Structure 1
Amino acid sequence: MEPFRIANRFQPGASRWRLLSVDGQAVAASNGIALMVDGALAEAGPCTCLFVVSSFHPLRHYTPELGAALRRLERGGATLGAIDTGCFILAEAGLLRGETVTLHWEAIPAFRERYPQVTASQELFLTEKRPTSAGAVAGLDLALALLARRHGRELALAVSEQLVQGQMRSPSEHQRLQVASRYQVHNKKLAQAIRLMEEQLEDPWPPEELAARCGATRRQLERLFRAHLKASPAEFYRALRLDRARWLLRQTELSVVEISVACGFESPSYFSRAYRKRFGRSPREDREDRSGA
């Protein structure tokens, strides 16, 4: 909301908004802060645009009544968008079939697994039919883009400067830090191998093909991984897939079997053994104890 508040300083009446919850009661954010709201979703009158904002475990809060209210608003002419994992709510309501959305990179694998009929992009934000953003700071980028579209780039730039935002980022900028920054690796072939691994966890690359796509031999890639990351390519790849599996276990309702498939493990039993070896507990034990999530 902050970009729209600032926009009203420069152009009074440029934006109006209301905060709504399902039942009209205050909402507890994931950081524990209680957010006061202006009313209940079912009582919302006509609106130009409505954003669904959510964080961890979005589907725990979905109900058929919520889905019906969202469909009613869309039939009434409202543009429905989403921030962070709000796309799960819109998809569960049947509003995203055949569309393209973006959401936080960490939630994309679970979203693709549950809603294969929806295209999940890794862009920072999208502003077309269905405005969506990856959440966090990308919410500011989406707000600035919407202000520029509706009121002109000059106003959006003025708001950006007030936010000390430095620049208005384009949708295509990366959600995540570059591989070189995250892993402190600067060899181009090694960085390319890591990127390819991260992009394809469900169906892991065969070693020879992975090396070829990086312009290296399998033996060269083995040496690079051991020299810079103290692990073989297979060990590093498996660790990436297990880390993703742990996130899915803690933050989604996918079954252990579904998660093992989504993370490229050939059998649930092999997945469980590898998981216990890395984390010291079974997938089911982690699923039952989400207190650290």
Structure 2
Amino acid sequence: MTPDVRFLLLPLPDFTMLPFGGFIDKLRFSADNEDYSQQRHCGWQILGLKSGTVTSSSSVSVEVQVTPEQIRFADYDYLVVFGCRSARHAQQMASSYKALLKQAASFGVTLVTIDNACFMLAEAGLLKKNKVSVHWRHAQEFMAAYPDIEVRTEQLYCIDKKRISCSGGSAAIDLAVELLTRHCGRTRAMKGLADMISIKPRGQCIALESLDNETNAGRHVSCAIGLMRDLLQERKTTDELATMIGISRRQLDRLFKDEFSKTAHDYWHEMRLQHLHWRLVNSNHSLTILAEEIGIQDTSYLCKVFRKRFGQSPATLRHSNK
């Protein structure tokens, strides 16, 4: 039996497990009529530049099943590239993977990027005139590196002809459902989804230090958080944010206090500092450039508030993570 759709899955070294595991498990659930993991209605193989294993950022390794010399690209519909922990690392790997990606594209295979794999395709010149969905944490860096590529931070994934991009995380499951729907129908695409996604009672929700838990946030709060991410580098005030949403500053603060026990201003401030912390560890850009990403021009002030929040200076943090 020939599958309705076939995928090549290409995890980059140091890839993140969540989107990879979510995507492949959704394929597995939809692959057959029961739950035997047989590749009847959709098929997949794990591709690598060479045989052996590829190790994820969590030190879990997966085995490469096929190399470029062992396959016919014309037999596949999608080549899905799973990004690694560092966008800079993804860019540096472009020269190693460029020939493989171009060969797949020449056979009409749709190239799919998950998380920061979009940096590698952009660096390889394979995203020209395409729209790209980029995780909000990487958006400013991507736009600075590739100003001619249109970025869609408001979308979990973006399907643009023969190029598809996904912001990563659990959004990879949403993308898998969409692609399976196109080839196998909605019913089969949704098969097993309820087993993959559980709804937690309110009292059991995990409180994340990074402030990314929005499961129970109301419509206004969710909208505010989305705008905070989009406007991370803008020097907008919380009053302006409330006006954009259509509520008062006092009402916005009350909603945030109910949900996160802090004001909207404090939430936004923490989001900026968390972004800076992550970028210091995962990039080599100067503090001046990173400060611009979060809308702060005074680096002396930034160092002061950063030290107060994390107990060390930005320079010390970066040095300790080299």
So what's the TM-score if we normalise by structure 1? 0.76
CA-CA distance at 1:265 after TM superposition:
1.0
Distance 1:239 1:12, change over 3 A: closer
Shift of 1:222: 10
1:136–1:231 Cα change, 3 Å: closer
Residue 152 (structure 2) aligned to one of 95, 120, 123 = 120
Q: What number of residue pairs does the alignment pair up?
A: 276
Q: 1:101-116, aligned counterparts within 5 Å?
A: 101-116=132-147
Choose which of 81, 88, 93 in structure 2 pairs with 1:52: 81
Greater mean alpha carbon deviation, residues 88-97 or residues 226-235: 226-235
Tell me what 1:136 maps to.
169
Q: Is the partner of 1:258 in helix, strand or coil? A: helix
Deviation at 1:28, TM superposition (A): 0.7
What secondary structure does 1:286 align onto? helix
Which shows bigger deviation, 208-217 or 72-81? 208-217
Aligned to 1:282: 313
- Verify the 8 A CA contact 2:152 2:158 in the aligned structure 1: no
What do residues 212-249 of structure 1 show as CA deviations (whole Å, max 9, x unaligned)?
A: 4455677x579859977787765554333222111111
The 1:143–1:262 alpha-carbon spacing in structure 2 relative to 1, beyond 3 Å, is: same
Aligned sequence identity (%) = 26
Given that 1:145 and 1:156 are in contact with CA atoms closer than 8 Å, whether structure 2 keeps it comes out as yes
Please give the alpha-carbon distance, in whole angstroms, between the structure 1 residues aligned to 2:314 and 2:228: 22
Output one character per residue of 1:93-142: Cα deviation in whole Å (capped at 9) or x when no partner.
12123322324443334333433333133323334422333333322222
1:7 aligned to 2:34?
Answer: no
1:271 alignment partner, SS class: helix
Aligned partner (choices 298, 303, 308) of residue 272 of structure 1: 303
One-letter identity of the residue aligned with 1:50: L
Query: How far off its partner does 1:145 sit?
Result: 1.6
SS at match of 2:191: helix
Which residue number in structure 1 is paired with residue 67 of structure 2? 40
Structure 1: any 5+ residue segments left out of the alignment?
168-175
Deviates more, 1:256-265 or 1:224-233: 224-233
Query: Which deviates further from its counterpart, 82-91 or 122-131?
Result: 122-131
The one-letter code matched in structure 1 to 2:60 is I
In terms of mean alpha carbon deviation, does 195-204 or 45-54 score higher? Answer: 195-204
1:155 aligns with 2:188: yes
TM-score computed with the length of structure 2 as normaliser: 0.70
Letter in 2 for 1:152: G
Kindly provide the CA deviation profile for residues 42-87 of structure 1, in whole angstroms up to 9, marking residues without a partner as x: 7653233101112311432514131232123212322100122222
* Moved >4 Å (runs of 4+): 41-44, 163-167, 190-195, 214-218, 220-236
In the TM superposition, what is the alpha-carbon distance from 1:39 to its structure 2 partner?
3.3
Match of 2:51 in 1: 24
The one-letter amino acid of 2:156's match is: L
